[in-house]
Amino acid sequence: MLFLGDIPEPCWEDEEANKKIVSSLSDPFKNHSLLAGSSARRAFMVQIFEVFTFYYMYKNVVRCWKNKNYAAAVFRMFDGVINWFALLIQMAFPIIVVASLVYVPMCY
């Protein structure tokens, strides 16, 4: 690293306002996603469900649209479709391999 700056001290002027945004030991996942603290398997399954239902694409396009970043919204639509096809191929690959193990010997 070329330069390591000093870390500023936190300013705790309004303690009530800070309680709304800062996580604590009693509420460690405050202001995080709904999947924070859940298992990796659940997060993976939710990700797959969001991609297959195009909710992942919808969420990203709406976020870009709200930020008035219209060019990025178009590319997010393409990204969502590409993610859908990529996941479909990943999920179909084991089925294709098993089907070929059955079909290829039948050809001989």
Phi, psi torsion values for 21, nearest 5 degrees = -115, -15
Residue 56 domain flag? yes
Residue 92 domain flag? yes
| Tokens found for residue 59 | 């969420």
Residue 101 domain flag? yes
Residue 65 domain flag? yes
Residue 28 domain flag? no
Over residues 50-80, the pLDDT tens digits come to: 999 999 999 999 999 998 889 999 999 999 9
Residue 83 domain flag? yes
Stronger pLDDT, 65 or 39, i.e. the higher one: 65
**Mean of per-residue pLDDT scores for the chain:** 80
Residue 24 domain flag? no
Where are the alpha helices (H) located in the chain, listed in sequence order?
15-21, 40-52, 55-66, 70-107
Residue 20 domain flag? no
Q: Using the 8-state DSSP alphabet, how is residue 29 labeled?
A: T
* Domain span at 80: 37-107
Domain tally for the chain? Answer: 1
For residue 90, what are the contacts with CB-CB under 8 A and spacing of at least 6?
none
User: Percent of the chain at pLDDT above 70?
Assistant: 68
